[in-house]
Amino acid sequence: MNRFWSARCLLLATVFGSLPMLCVTAAAQRPRLSQHGSVSQQIANTKVTIEYNRPVARGRQLFGSLVPWGRIWNPGADSATNIAFSTNVQVNGQTLEAGTYSLWAEPQQDRWTMIFSRAHPVFHTPYPAGRDALRVPVTPRAGEHMETLSFYFPVVGGKKAELVLHWGTVVVPLQLEVP
């Protein structure tokens, strides 16, 4: 009889003792609020790849509130958004050497500055001052509501393409041209 109860107590201790571990494992497997995304595009002989984590608007006021006007921001979440070019490119008419960069933005109501930083990989805050490879002015435009931050190429042809950052109703276009 003692052996029976000892075995039963051992079994119960084993089962209930591992419950906290099961809870930790379940919590660790919960999906992130900002899912990872990537997009690649071939433009002539150049490959462009963007790796980023995609925050969701969830009814929040985005620009001018969550993302303040005039403050440098990384368009993404968690790790900084990275963009890679396999060859030299022109971004809005300015030369950017082949390589991988973290991508930053300084939003204003009527004009944005997009910043390509040599600092990568880095966390999405703070901005790595003094590591800029290129800054380009961009005029944003209005678009349909995009719930989750997105980068995409709506126009690709020959040696030119348009890459846009789109979140909420704000569309920030970058004109790319390859040699």
The residue among 79 and 135 whose pLDDT is bigger is: 135
Distance, in Å, from the CA atom of 34 to the CA atom of 93, rounded to the nearest integer, reads 32
Distance, in Å, from the CA atom of 32 to the CA atom of 35, rounded to the nearest integer, reads 6
Task: Give yes or no for residue 8 having a pLDDT over 60.
Answer: no
The residue among 24 and 40 whose pLDDT is bigger is: 40
Q: What is the mean pLDDT of the chain?
A: 87
The model's pLDDT over 53-102, given as tens digits with 9 standing for 90+, comes to: 999 999 999 999 999 999 999 999 888 999 999 999 999 999 999 999 99
Laid out side by side, the sheet with 35-43 consists of: 35-43, 46-54, 82-85, 99-106, 112-117, 132-138
Q: Of the ranges 8-22, 121-135, 151-165, which one carries the lowest mean pLDDT score?
A: 8-22
Q: Where are the alpha helices (DSSP H) in the chain?
A: 2-17, 19-28
Which tokens sit at 53?
A: 């984590």
